[in-house]
Amino acid sequence: MRWEDFRRSDNVEDRRGQGGLGGGLGGGRVPGGRGGLGIGGLIIVGLIAWATGINPAVLIGGAEILMGGGGQSQQQQQPSQSANRGAPDDQLGQFAATVLAQTEDVWSEIFKQQGKTYKDPGMVLFSGSTRSGCGAAQSAMGPFYCPLDQKVYLDLSFFQEMKTRFRASGDFAAAYVIAHEVGHHVENQIGLLAKVQERQQQVSRAEANQLSVRVELMADCLAGVWANHADARFKILEDGDIEEALNAASAIGDDRLQKQSQGYAVPDSFTHGTSAQRVSWFKRGLQSGSLQQCNTFGSGNI
Ligand SMILES: [Zn+2]
């Protein structure tokens, strides 16, 4: 993937090396102030999510995929430190800021064509754990998007993990992951996430999972739409890039992950779709470049 010569996004908050759960609520700042939800609202949403078993955060794979240890952070809460904003200096940070910038350019253009305004998401780079508007963020959760503060949370060591654990390497595999998370932001901007999460509270666990699968496959398709437009505009794709993304999409399919961890797959518990579905929806977005092709909610569509 060609990326070095392009613009970096300033919507990056670098909390790496801050340790613990610092950089978020500590100083009384409210993550998600932009979204208009006060801290009370965030707590209430959190409680509803907890009571119904629905996590408002949208994760890249099952929450358990990278779980090494217990779910709770053992670390002490650190005093708040001012986060570094703007594109980081290191190579990986620059890469993430560049892909984010390209999603901003592509999605604001697509929204504009439809008479809408795209609001850029934020990106929080962290190591270990941090606070998010959707609760504590752990590296073990993998990258995720929090609709409540409209930020993508990313521990860049995930890309190393993808390589060693899932044999999904390559810069474009990493770009696909970022574009997938931004895809959730697009779903949020068009009002889809809120509707789906409301519906999920009224149906059975199996049906709620089925809805999650549709949300995830749509994000994969939107990542493909992004790749299509980004390449048309910036000529970013090099030989092997598409294969890297397809390989990554396939590596984090529910069936593959479940078979790896427990030896068999349970389709009712799928929340992200099978490897074949993820590959197929990414391709659909990539080949068409069209948002309209990403409707995973039509009957019989997946
Ligand atoms: Zn996702």
In a domain, residue 6? The reply is: no
Read off the pLDDT band of 257 (50, 70, 90).
confident
Percentage of the residues of the chain whose pLDDT score is greater than 90: 57
pLDDT tens, residue by residue, 161-178: 888 888 888 999 999 999
- Rounded distance from Cα 42 to ligand 1 centre (Å): 21
**Range with the lowest mean pLDDT among 2-11, 31-40, 229-238?**
31-40
- Flag whether 259 is in a domain: yes
Q: Rounded to whole angstroms, how far apart are CA atoms 14 and 143? A: 15
The answer to whether residue 206 is domain-embedded is yes
User: Ligand 1: distance of its center to the CA of 88 in Å?
Assistant: 24
Q: Residue 60 Cα, ligand 1 centroid: separation in angstroms? A: 4
Average pLDDT over the chain, rounded to whole?
81
Q: Would you say residue 7 lies in a domain?
A: no
Q: How far is the CA of 79 from the centre of ligand 1 (A)?
A: 31
pTM (predicted TM-score): 0.81
CA separation for the pair 213, 196 (Å, rounded): 11
Residue 130: inside a domain = yes
What is the rounded distance in angstroms from the CA atom of residue 120 to the CA atom of residue 232? 21
Q: Tokens in use for 194?
A: 């809120």
Q: Is residue 2 part of a domain?
A: no
* Residues forming a β-bridge with 191: none
Higher pLDDT, 253 or 103: 103
* pLDDT at position 25: 40
CA 55 / ligand 1 centre spacing (Å): 12
Residue 3 domain flag = no
Can you say whether the dihedral through the CA atoms of 206, 207, 210, 212 is positive or negative?
negative
* Count: domains in the chain: 1
Q: Does residue 145 come out as left (phi exceeding 0), alpha (psi in the -120 to 50 range) or beta?
A: beta
User: Higher pLDDT residue, 140 or 85?
Assistant: 85
Range list of H helices, 82-170? 91-113, 157-166
Structural domain includes residue 286: yes
Q: If you measure from the C-alpha of residue 220 to the centroid of ligand 1, how many angstroms do you get, rounded to a whole number?
A: 8
Angle, CA of 289, 11 and 4, to the nearest 5°: 65
In the reported structure, the alpha carbon of residue 182 is separated from the centroid of ligand 1 by a whole-number distance in angstroms of 9
Q: How far is the CA of 219 from the centre of ligand 1 (A)?
A: 6
pLDDT tens readout for residues 259-283: 887 788 888 888 889 999 999 999 9
Ion ligand 1, residue ranges at CB < 5 A: 58, 216, 219
- Please check the confidence at residue 20 and state whether its pLDDT lies above 80: no
pLDDT tens column, 57-97: 665 544 333 322 233 333 334 444 456 899 999 999 999 99
Structural domain harbouring 109: 12-298
